[in-house]
Amino acid sequence: MPRLTLIVGGLLLLVGIIGYVATSFSSMTALIPSVVGVLLLSSGGIARKNRKLGVHIALVVALLGALGMIMPLMSLPELFAGESENPGAVISALVTVIVLVVYIILGVRSFMAARRWRNAR
């Protein structure tokens, strides 16, 4: 999980930067994935020293990040209709939610597997 956390953090950092560039540097909302990515990179660094603590922090950050994308995703119907004011921001929010939800699912599965392994010993 620490390695996956670093990968997801780096990916979200790129998504935010690409979204910001795609909006011609006009939508600060597109940078939100980068903020979440930096927090995940920090959590991944912590997870390399203390796996349990770092991954728990990362999953909380991922959950809050996914919930934070609800407002930008409210413009999703406008994006599909071709009427969105900031399509780059909406697309980066959508990619962020997908990546974070997959990461949360993998994290929870990892915790469940660790508990099963610990109980089987």
Write down the mean pLDDT value for the chain.
Answer: 89
Q: Which of 105, 106, 114, 118 is nearest to 3 (CA)?
A: 106
pLDDT in tens, 110-119: 888 888 888 8
**Number of domains composing the chain:** 1
Q: Which of 29, 105, 101 is nearest to 113 (CA)?
A: 105
At 71 the pLDDT is 86
Average pLDDT over residues 15-26: 84
Enclosing domain of residue 87: 2-120
DSSP for residue 1 = -
pLDDT in tens, 36-94: 999 999 999 999 999 889 999 999 999 999 999 888 888 888 888 888 777 777 888 88
When mean pLDDT is compared over 19-23, 77-81, 105-109, the highest value belongs to: 105-109
